[in-house]
């Protein structure tokens, strides 16, 4: 009865309308490069001051869910990750769009986002208190091991292992710029105050993927006319869905787990999901060439993170990522202290948020599917004009985040770097992963050493640490083992 009355408030016209508006707004914010879900939520919090708690919070959750989904649109169509969460979607989404399957790629992304989102929402509504404790198990050694495991993706992503390693190490080096995480000393700023907080992540990403692609396109434009591609369709074929089944399941589960671990976020989740989908696929060689399961993995993972990040926030009062940290501010303005007591003191709010997460995910699916033809028509714009428009968006997006001119230099610098890397066969994705995971690995390595009095054993104790370390070894060793097997099999087949 109580649950029903708490749920019925969601179906009032006002609430539904606000959630729909939030989701659509988030979708657009996410689709525009540079405008991230975090920003959308942060800037719209003041609007919720006057709303009832459930209405206001669900609008913010709508923006969050819509925003993380919306990022895939520009990733697929323009090779510009709309938000850092969908950087990994570029790998298979953009090649599909290049092949004329933009509609199908977007459809796959939308379906995957819904599946991941609903999966995590179900977990949120049923197992939040039980699972939330995972969040508390993570100390410095656990984070370090997780980051190390994440970095092994680099090895499997890059065809050329040496070049992949160089890209990854370059990423780690670049992420060292700015304040030292433990002592606060400024490093590699060369006395330039603009570098004091390091390179801003989103502008770096925009430069790395979008601006560099513009440069590559420009080279091609000079040589020949690029044909306009067919963009029709929105539903993935039955065989696409069948092949993506494993990727969707893995993506949803990985996204949910990573979402619960505080401070990791949807960028990490989508890269790990991509790698796992690829490793377990029967056609790993197809990943990166425009293969639907690649999109299915990343998009189901990053949308699963949204609902999953709410688990530690609501159950423990600990935000799972940056957006939920901002949401926590929203809760506190409503006079609600997030924490385990919220379940007892305000069950109506908790149930309202559970329900709102489902509704926002469904709205996201409806809007996403309905807008695919509109979005993919972007590709019908003549290349010359589209390229210039992307350049403008690169600049606006990078500047809009912090209104900091240094971010523009960052974007252009990474654009040139990305173009050069692409030209000489270095993996931009490897650099991107290192930018995400490098700082996490360094800060936790140093914090762990500080806390244990420089005892390295701390990084090899505890079940979670050991689990991730063995996954790391497996992840690095498996390709070698399977190659050996392959060679032996070939050897037996053709004895010469």
In the complex, the residues that contact another protein under the rule CB under 8 A are 38-39, 41-43, 45-46, 49, 135-140, 179-186, 193-194, 196-197, 262-263, 312, 316-319, 325-326, 328-329, 332-335, 337-342, 402-404, 443, 447, 450-451
Report helix, strand or coil for 44. Answer: helix
Token pair in block for residue 472: 């790391």
Cα–Cα distances (Å) from 408 to 163, 194, 199, 416, in that order, read: 27, 11, 10, 12
Q: Which is nearer to another protein, 260 or 297 (CB)?
A: 260
Cα–Cα–Cα angle for 295, 301, 305, nearest 5°? 145
The burial class, CB within 10 Å (0-12 / 13-18 / 19+), for 239 is exposed
**206 CB-near residues (< 8 Å, 6+ apart):** 33, 34, 80, 81, 394, 397, 398, 411, 414
The burial class, CB within 10 Å (0-12 / 13-18 / 19+), for 397 is buried
Token pair in block for residue 410: 């960052």
Q: Which is nearer to another protein, 124 or 440 (CB)?
A: 440
E strand or H helix at 178:
strand 178-179
Largest CA distance in the chain: 80
Instruction: Fill in the DSSP letter of residue 187.
Output: E
Q: Which is nearer to another protein, 107 or 330 (CB)?
A: 330
Q: Which is nearer to another protein, 184 or 227 (CB)?
A: 184
CB of 151 to another protein, least distance (A): 18
CB of 40 to another protein, least distance (A): 10
CB of 199 to another protein, least distance (A): 11
CA–CA distance, 123 with 256 (Å, rounded to integer): 8
Q: Which is nearer to another protein, 73 or 132 (CB)?
A: 132
CB of 201 to another protein, least distance (A): 12
Q: Which is nearer to another protein, 159 or 194 (CB)?
A: 194
CA–CA distance, 14 with 10 (Å, rounded to integer): 9
CA–CA distance, 139 with 407 (Å, rounded to integer): 32
CB of 172 to another protein, least distance (A): 17
Q: Which is nearer to another protein, 158 or 202 (CB)?
A: 202
**35 CB-near residues (< 8 Å, 6+ apart):** 29, 82, 397, 400, 401
Q: Taking the CA atoms of 216, 220, 222 and 223 in sequence, report the sign of the dihedral they define.
A: positive
Q: Which is nearer to another protein, 99 or 447 (CB)?
A: 447
Cα–Cα distances (Å) from 318 to 21, 58, 116, 273, 334, in that order, read: 27, 18, 22, 24, 17
CB of 343 to another protein, least distance (A): 10
CB of 159 to another protein, least distance (A): 34
CB of 337 to another protein, least distance (A): 4
The burial class, CB within 10 Å (0-12 / 13-18 / 19+), for 232 is exposed
CB of 443 to another protein, least distance (A): 6
CA–CA distance, 357 with 168 (Å, rounded to integer): 36
CA–CA distance, 414 with 24 (Å, rounded to integer): 31
The DSSP result for 304-323, as a single string, is HHHHHHHHHHHHHS--SSHH
CB of 63 to another protein, least distance (A): 12
Instruction: Fill in the DSSP letter of residue 226.
Output: P
C-alpha closest to that of 459 among 213, 140, 91: 140
CB of 171 to another protein, least distance (A): 18
Q: Which is nearer to another protein, 332 or 456 (CB)?
A: 332
CB of 189 to another protein, least distance (A): 8
C-alpha closest to that of 407 among 104, 123, 175, 199: 199
CB of 266 to another protein, least distance (A): 17
Q: Which is nearer to another protein, 332 or 484 (CB)?
A: 332
Q: Which is nearer to another protein, 46 or 347 (CB)?
A: 46
């Amino acid at each position: 009865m109580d649950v029903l009355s708490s749920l019925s408030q969601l179906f009032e016209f006002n609430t539904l309308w606000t959630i729909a508006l939030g989701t659509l707004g988030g979708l657009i914010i996410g689709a525009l490069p540079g405008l991230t879900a975090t920003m959308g939520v942060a800037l719209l919090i003041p609007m919720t001051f006057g709303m009832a708690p459930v209405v206001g919070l669900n609008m913010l959750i709508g923006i969050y869910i819509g925003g993380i989904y919306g990022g895939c649109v520009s990733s697929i169509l323009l090779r510009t990750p709309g938000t850092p969460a969908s950087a990994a979607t570029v790998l298979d989404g953009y090649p599909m769009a290049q092949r004329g399957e933009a509609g199908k790629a977007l459809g796959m992304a939308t379906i995957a986002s819904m599946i991941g989102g609903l999966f995590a929402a179900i977990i949120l509504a049923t197992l939040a208190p039980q699972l939330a404790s995972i969040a508390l198990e993570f100390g410095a050694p656990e984070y370090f091991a997780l980051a190390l495991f994440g970095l092994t993706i680099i090895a499997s992503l890059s065809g050329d292992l040496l070049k992949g390693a160089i890209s990854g190490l370059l990423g780690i080096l670049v992420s060292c710029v700015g304040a030292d995480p433990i002592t606060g000393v400024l490093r590699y700023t060369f006395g330039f105050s603009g570098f004091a907080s390091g390179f801003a992540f989103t502008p770096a990403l925009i430069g790395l993927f979008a601006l560099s692609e513009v440069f590559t396109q420009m080279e091609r434009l000079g040589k020949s006319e690029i044909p306009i591609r067919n963009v029709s369709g929105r539903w993935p074929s039955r065989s696409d869905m069948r092949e993506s089944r494993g990727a969707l399941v893995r993506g949803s589960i990985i996204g949910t787990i990573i979402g619960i671990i505080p401070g990791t976020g949807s960028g990490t989740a989508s890269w790990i999901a991509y790698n796992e989908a690829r490793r377990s696929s029967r056609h790993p060689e197809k990943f990166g060439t425009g293969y639907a399961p690649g999109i299915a993995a990343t998009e189901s993972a990053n949308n699963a993170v949204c609902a999953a990040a709410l688990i530690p926030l609501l159950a423990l009062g600990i935000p799972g990522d940056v957006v939920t940290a901002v949401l926590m501010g929203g809760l506190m303005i409503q006079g609600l202290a997030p924490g385990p007591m919220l379940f007892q003191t305000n069950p109506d709010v908790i149930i309202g948020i559970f329900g709102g997460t489902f509704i926002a995910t469904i709205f996201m699916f409806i809007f996403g599917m309905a807008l695919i033809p509109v979005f993919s028509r972007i590709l019908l714009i003549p290349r010359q004009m589209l390229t210039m428009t992307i350049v403008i968006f690169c600049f606006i997006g990078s500047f809009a985040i912090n209104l900091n001119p240094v971010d523009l230099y960052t974007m252009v610098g990474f654009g040139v770097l990305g173009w050069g890397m692409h030209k000489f066969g270095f993996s931009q994705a490897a650099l991107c992963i290192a930018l995400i995971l490098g700082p996490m690995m360094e800060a936790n390595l140093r914090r762990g050493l500080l806390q244990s009095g420089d005892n390295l054993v701390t990084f090899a104790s505890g079940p979670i640490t050991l689990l991730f370390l063995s996954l790391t070894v497996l992840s690095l060793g498996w390709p070698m083992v399977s190659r050996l097997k392959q060679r032996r099999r070939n050897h037996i087949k053709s004895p010469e």
